């Protein structure tokens, strides 16, 4: 099976504390499973984190951004 690769990697995004930010990447295979992580910690859907995936595009929305989220 062909490995899933990034067609468009994550880019740095800036926002103000208390706002939200959206991180987007594009994969080589549609609807491939995506695991979002911060360092070694797996992120799970919650009030703070929302995950969306449309075909090859995967998005992570971080709400109420704090400096610790950088």
Q: Beta-strand (E) ranges in 9-56?
A: 21-27, 37-38, 41-42, 49-54
% of the chain surpassing 70 pLDDT: 100
Average pLDDT of the chain is 94
How does pLDDT run across 1-14, given as a tens digit for each residue? 788 999 998 899 99
Instruction: Find all residues with CB under 8 Å of 15, minimum gap 6, and list them.
Output: 21, 65
Instruction: Name all domains of the chain by residue range, CATH numbers in brackets.
Output: 6-63 (2.60.40.10)
């Amino acid at each position: 099976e062909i490995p899933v690769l990034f067609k468009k990697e994550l880019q740095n995004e800036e926002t103000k504390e208390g706002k939200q930010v959206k991180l987007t990447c594009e994969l080589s295979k549609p609807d491939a499973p995506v695991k979002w992580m911060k360092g070694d910690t797996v992120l799970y859907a919650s009030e703070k984190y929302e995950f969306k995936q449309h075909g090859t595009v995967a998005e992570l929305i971080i709400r109420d951004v704090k400096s610790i989220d950088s």
